[in-house]
Amino acid sequence: AQSVTQLGSHVSVSEGALVLLRCNYSSSVPPYLFWYVQYPNQGLQLLLKYTTGATLVKGINGFEAEFKKSETSFHLTKPSAHMSDAAEYFCAVSDYAGGTSYGKLTFGQGTILTVHP
């Protein structure tokens, strides 16, 4: 079974500071990895995803994540935080172990990002 661990349920940064949200996964097969964001009173929005190829993935709003197989990690970063980045962020892995239910996502617990002036 696959699993995702997000280190830190709450992260607080200053505006302009580096954002680093940590995600480690466990998977018995090559993983497909995702970061979603949920802004207040909105649904989940895809930030970026890793399927195959380049391990550094760029997403929307200046976010990027690097797939590191040796560390089983997929940490999300942004060089400079904006107030508008305040939201809850979810790391997820796609459950694909030879079954037919493609797209079944296993989520981490979520990390609430607070950005203060």
Partner 1 sequence: EAGVTQFPSHSVIEKGQTVTLRCDPISGHDNLYWYRRVMGKEIKFLLHFVKESKQDESGMPNNRFLAERTGGTYSTLKVQPAELEDSGVYFCASSPRTRPGNTIYFGEGSWLTVV
Q: Does 26 bind partner 1 (CB under 8 A)?
A: no
Q: Does 110 bind partner 1 (CB under 8 A)?
A: yes
Distance, CA of 90 to CA of 115 (rounded, Å): 17
Q: Binding mask 41-60 vs partner 1 (x if CB under 8 A, - otherwise)?
A: xxxxxx--x-xx--------
Q: Does 103 bind partner 1 (CB under 8 A)?
A: yes
Binding residues for partner 1, total number by CB under 8 A? 28
Q: Does 90 bind partner 1 (CB under 8 A)?
A: yes
C-alpha distance from residue 7 to each of 15, 55, 75, 79, 100 (Å): 21, 21, 10, 19, 30
